[in-house]
A and B are shown apart, each in its own frame.
Chain A
Amino acid sequence: MAIGPTIPFTAIPWDDALFVLLAGTMLASGLAVVLMRDIIRCGLAMMVCFGSLAGIYVMAGAPVVAAAQVLVYIGAISVLVLFAIMLTQTKLAPARMAFQTQAVPAAIAAVVLLVVVLLAVGSTTWGGGPDRGDTKTTDVATVLFGPFVLPFEVVGVLLLAAVIGGVFLAKRDRSAADRPE
C-alpha cells in the first residue's frame, strides 16, 4: 500500500513534517545536554541528539553516514561517556553548581557566533544544484577504497594508537596503588 506525498487530509508534505520533528528533537536534546544539571541525564540526552541527527543524515541522502552515526556515536561513544560519568560521579556533584561563573559571557559569545554564522549562511549564494541527491553506497565504497585509501589507512593507525594510548592512560598504576595513602 503506497502512501501519498502529503499527510492525508492535509497539505503538509511528509518530508517537511519529518524534518521539523527531527530538527526539533535534535535542537531540544542538544540544549538539554548543555543545560541540565544532572550529568547522567545529559549523557542520555546526547544519545537522543545523535539519533535524531542520524535521521537528518538519512533525509540529506547519506544513509551510510547515518548507519555509521548509529554504530559509532550511539553505540560506542555514548556508552564510553556514560561509563566515564559513572566512574567519576560523586554524590554531591549534582547538588553543587553546574556552571562556571563565566556562564553569562559564554552565552553572549555563543549567541554572537550564532548570529554571525546565520548571517553568513543567509547572505551567501552557494554553488551546486538546487536539488538534493542521494549518495549510493557503492559510490561511497569506490571513493573510500580508491582516492581516499591513504587517509583510510592512516585513520586505522590513528585508532590503534588511540586505543593503546587510552589503555595506557587509564591503567591503574600498580606501584602507586600499593602505596598507603
Chain B
Amino acid sequence: MIRVILGSVLAGAFIVGLGLIGLAAGGSRSLNAYLTLSGILFAIGMFGFLARRNAISMLMAIELMLNAVNLSIIGFASFDEKLGPSGSVIALLVMAVAAGEATVGLSIILAIYRNKKTPLVDEYDAMSQ
C-alpha cells in the first residue's frame, strides 16, 4: 500500500516536472512552447524508430513522429492568422494519410510475420545472405 502511494507521488512529480519544460518555454500562450513539445516528441519517436527491435514498436514510433509534426502545424496555425483554418485542414489531411500508412504498414508486418514467424526486424535478413 505504501509503495503504491509512493509510486503514484513519484510518477506525478515526474509528469509535472516534464510538463514544466512546456511552461519554461513560454506556456500555453506562446508558439515556442508548442514547437518545443513537438521537437521533444519527434526526438522520442526517432529514438524509438532507430532503437527498437520489434517492427510494431517501430511503427508506433513513426506514429509519434507524425503526431509531433501535426502538433507543430497546429501551433503555427493558431498563432498565424494568415494560416488560420487552413492549418486545421492540413492537420486533418495528415491524419488521413497516417491512417492509410498504419493500415498498409501493419498488413505488411502481418504478411512478413506469416512467413518468418518473428516480429523482430533484425531477423529479416533474407537479402543479406
Q: Which residues of A contact B (CB under 8 A)?
A: 15-16, 18-28, 30-31, 33-34, 39, 42-43, 46, 49-50, 53, 56-57, 59-62, 64-65, 68-69, 72-73, 76-77, 80-81, 84-85, 87-90, 93, 97-100, 102-103, 105-107, 109-111, 113-114, 117-118, 121-122, 126-136, 139-140, 142-144, 147-148, 151-152, 155, 158-159, 161-163, 165-167, 169-170, 172
Contact = CB atoms under 8 A, between A and B. Distances in A.
Contacts, number: 294
A172 B109 CA distance: 13
B60 interface: yes
A105 to B, nearest CB: 8
Size class of the B contact interface (CB-based, 8 Å): 35 or more
B19 A24 contact: yes
B56 A84 contact: yes
Q: Lowest 9 A-B CB distances belong to which pairs? A: A24-B19, A34-B48, A162-B100, A106-B50, A128-B80, A20-B19, A117-B39, A23-B22, A110-B47
A97 B61 CA distance: 18
A114 to B, nearest CB: 4
Interface in B7-41: 11, 14-23, 25, 27-37, 39-41
Contacts of A31: 44
A103 B40 CA distance: 18
Interface of A is mostly: helix
Contacts of B81: 128-129, 133
A39 B106 contact: no
- Looking at chain B's contact residues, the main secondary structure is helix
A148 B86 contact: yes
B3 interface: no
A136 B78 CA distance: 11
